[in-house]
Amino acid sequence: MKITRNSEIPTADAGTEHFTGSVTLEPLFQPQDGSRALGATVTFQPSARTDWHTHPLGQVIIVTSGTGLVQSEGGPIKQINPGDVVWCPPGEKHWHGATPNSAMSHIVVVEQKDGVAANWLEKVSDEEYAAEIEA
């Protein structure tokens, strides 16, 4: 058994390579002893978001605070709130982030396939981000 204390979890700026806006990342756990799962807490400041991306084995998003947005390619933008759980199936092109007026934090859990957890694609344009949100 391994316990990682909260005080041991580093927080880092996620940078701009795969994100737009101010995003912080706290890696919660990495694959251990043959497992493929990893998890992180990601905090998006207002209007911050991921780039379009896919996951080879899918992704679980658990919203912990604030108000966020999520969209699958070709679908509507949907609002997500604390306690909501989002399942993104393997290979589904999507993005997620905060609303223009609220920060949002979520925990993500993904599995790596051949060492890859995410396939990063193009930026979400300001026009795509500003599209109407489905009620």
- The DSSP secondary structure of 75-88, one letter per residue, reads S-EEEE-TT-EEEE
Bridge partner residues of 40 (DSSP)? 27, 108
Task: Tell me if 122 is assigned to some domain.
Answer: no
Task: Tell me if 1 is assigned to some domain.
Answer: no
How does pLDDT run across 46-98, given as a tens digit for each residue? 999 999 999 999 999 999 999 999 999 999 999 999 999 999 999 999 999 99
Task: Tell me if 86 is assigned to some domain.
Answer: yes
Non-local (6+) Cβ contacts of 122 within 8 A are 51, 52
- The CATH number for 63's domain is 2.60.120.10
Cα angle 31, 37, 38; round to 5? 75
Helix (H) / strand (E) containing 120: strand 119-120
Task: Tell me if 133 is assigned to some domain.
Answer: no
Task: Tell me if 101 is assigned to some domain.
Answer: yes
> In the predicted model, what is the mean pLDDT of residues 4-11?
90
pLDDT of 2:
87
pLDDT of 134:
84
Per-residue confidence at 27, pLDDT binned at 50, 70, 90?
very high
How does pLDDT run across 85-130, given as a tens digit for each residue? 999 999 999 999 999 999 999 999 999 999 999 999 999 999 999 9
**Number of independent structural domains in the chain:** 1
Task: Tell me if 84 is assigned to some domain.
Answer: yes
Task: Tell me if 78 is assigned to some domain.
Answer: yes
74, 78, 80, 86 alpha-carbon torsion, rounded to 10°:
-30
Cα angle 47, 112, 63; round to 5? 35
> In the predicted model, what is the mean pLDDT of residues 30-51?
95
Q: Is the pLDDT of residue 15 over 70?
A: yes
Task: Tell me if 2 is assigned to some domain.
Answer: no
pLDDT of 122:
98
- Domain hosting residue 103, numbered range: 13-113
Q: Is the pLDDT of residue 135 over 80?
A: no
Non-local (6+) Cβ contacts of 19 within 8 A are 48, 49, 50, 51
